[in-house]
Each structure stands twice: as structure tokens, then as C-alpha cells.
Structure 1
């Protein structure tokens, strides 16, 4: 499950960098119901990655 979440977030981040598509559109393209859901997942993933690097 973590792989899928990471893939969706990485793909979304790449689309944000490389296209001019709005955040809401990209969020839906990568499987989130809204830009808010995408942003929350991104924040949660970033926090868990930072905690892992501190602990690991």
C-alpha cells in the first residue's frame, strides 16, 4: 500500500512541476478526490518520511 501512495504522490509532484494543469485536476488524475485530499496525503507522507530519516 505504501508503494501505491508514494507512486501517486511522486507522479502528482512530477505533473505539478512539468505541466500547467491545476492542482485539482492533477489530484484527480492520480486518484485523489480533491486537491485537499492530495495535499493532506502529501503532508502525511512528508512527515512520515522525515520521521523515518530521523529514526533510521
Structure 2
């Protein structure tokens, strides 16, 4: 079993923002191409990490 996270490690806060349908689709597509959830992708982008797209099987 995985050890429990400490209080400071728990993700407890939510941030909401509005997007157009086109922006949402692009965000979901880009996050998926990077192999990340939308939340993880946004968190990485906000804190200065540049998420990189994964190679497709054809590119490998």
C-alpha cells in the first residue's frame, strides 16, 4: 500500500477558469499528447515547467 501524503502534500484547493470550446479542446489534446492529465499539464505550465509532447509510435 502507498504511504499517505502529509497535509502539505495534499491537493486540496481548486482553481476555476473559463475557456471557449475550442480552447478546451486544444488544452485536452495538448495535455493528452504530453501524456498528462489536464490538471497536471496546467500545474506544470503555471510553475514554469514546459511539458513536452510524447513521441507517437510512428515517430519512435
**Category of TM-score, reference length = shorter chain:** 0.3 to 0.5
The structure in which a higher percent of residues are helix is 1
Query: Greater Rg, structure 1 or structure 2?
Result: 2
- Report 1 or 2 for greater relative contact order, CA contacts < 8 Å, sequence distance ≥ 6: 1
The TM-score normalised by the length of structure 1 is 0.36
